[in-house]
Structure 1
Amino acid sequence: MTRDAALFDLDGVLLDSAEAVRVTLAAVATCALGRRVTPEDLPPDAVRRPRCDVLALLDVADPDDACDRWWDGASAAHPVGLFPGVLSGVLALRAQGAAVGAVTVQDPHRLRWLLPPALSELLDVVVTRQDAPPKPAPDGLHLALSRLDVPAERALFVGDSPTDMTAARAAGVVALGAVWGWHPAAALRAAGADHLLSGPTSIGPSLMRHLPLIDSA
């Protein structure tokens, strides 16, 4: 019997990492500029922008080099937790028989400090930017489903960005928008979200009701 799969983005969906990203951006800017930069100095939408764009706005001359030098150290120093209800929701999905995985633009080595062990051990597959072209390309979702041996019509993807919704639609899976994440509901809807989820407690067996009914006869 073919099982179902629930795939998730990490940052802003499972991981409550917005503050950690803002602190990391400020720390990298501080190192690059030689003066103190605080999270309050960042633009309000800093977590939605590419990190190099934010650093350029702060007058960092070579954002790529600054990230290469200081991002990992600054990121690892700030703890990241799970949104409330995530762990119990993932456990419930697995108890129901669904495969559970993550598709993220994070580099794999950063998952050592970003991904809590309690969640990591529950994920059947994790696809990073080094495994496949990053979203909005659908390749990472295709790879995750291939590793799980689950067809696209039996899978859904929960993301919090327009690129997540674009990738899900291109991969042929149900696109679920997480409105507790980094992007507003209107942006997720405009990018093609099939449904919007109101909070992280939406993660659980009820997610699978969004899959299309398939006649197995």
Structure 2
Amino acid sequence: MTVAELVWDMDGTLLDSTVVVPAAFVRAVARLGGQPVSPAQAVAAYPLGTPEVILAHLVGRPLGPHETDFYYQELQDGQVAPYPGIVEALAALRARGRAVAVFTGASTRGARMLLDAAGLEVDMLIGGDHIRRPKPAGDGVLLAAERLGVAPGGIAYIGDSPLDLRAAAAAGSVGAAAAWGHLYDAEEPADRTLARPEAALELLG
């Protein structure tokens, strides 16, 4: 099973954002006067879509643009790092002349903040605000394939969560489970399971 290009999820795949992202939601909800929420409740709301949608859900009412800014303010100074092996894997990918492509359910704004904080540069970034339907729909993977100029079947989408693998399947792409990520579920079907980031390079033809 070989593919032409790799596309990476961000949270839980490239970046260990296990603490920083849920904590930003918890603090933003408190600032907005919502009922207290736990980090686990924030994580459970991830499938809803972008941070703006998640925050409104957690607060329990529609929010104005200036109110959704609270999440980004709380995220701004968060400490986040790449998972072990990610920097080396992306460098090896570039050495092969391939793009570092990311599709994340997070907003482009939030993704850039986290990637910058972690010191990671990407060549193509698709955020949840670029698509109509969030994961597990395949919209983001299909858009990534289009931008890379590759048929969906020539893409491997690498992600830790079941939603990532379902999005890959919905797009007709290869779903590669990032077993190092915090939402990895060994029971979720995957075309390939990767024990470490460098193993993703083995998928390339």
Aligned twin of 1:131: 130
Q: Which sections of structure 1, spanning at least 5 residues, go unmatched?
A: none
Q: Is the 8 A contact 2:161 2:185 kept in 1?
A: no
Equivalent residue for 2:191, pick from 190, 194, 205: 194
Aligned twin of 1:172: 172
Aligned twin of 1:28: 28
Report how far residue 183 of structure 1 moved: 1.9
Aligned twin of 2:200: 207
* Aligned residue identity for 1:47: V
Distance 2:22 2:174 in 1: 30
- The RMSD of aligned alpha carbons is 2.9
Residue 210 and residue 47 in structure 1: after superposition, are their counterparts in 2 closer, same or farther (change >3 A)?
A: same
SS in 2 for 1:79: coil
What is the total number of aligned residue pairs between the two structures? 193
* Aligned residue identity for 2:194: L
* Aligned residue identity for 2:191: D
2:120 maps to 1:119 = yes
Q: Is the 8 A contact 2:34 2:60 kept in 1?
A: no
Moved more, 106-115 or 165-174: 106-115
Distance 1:21 1:43 in 2: 9
Percent identity (aligned): 32
SS in 2 for 1:164: helix
* Aligned residue identity for 2:129: Q
Moved more, 63-72 or 165-174: 63-72
SS in 2 for 1:126: strand
Residue 53 and residue 70 in structure 1: after superposition, are their counterparts in 2 closer, same or farther (change >3 A)?
A: closer
Residue 91 and residue 71 in structure 1: after superposition, are their counterparts in 2 closer, same or farther (change >3 A)?
A: same
Distance 1:99 1:24 in 2: 30
Q: Which sections of structure 2, spanning at least 5 residues, go unmatched?
A: 47-53
Distance 1:182 1:48 in 2: 13
Q: How does 1:27-46 map to 2 (within 5 A)?
A: 27-33=27-33, 42=38, 44=40, 46=42
Q: Is the 8 A contact 1:13 1:181 kept in 2?
A: yes
1:7-56 C-alpha deviation (Å, 9 max, x unpaired): 01111110111110222122123213399x6xxx726464243445983x
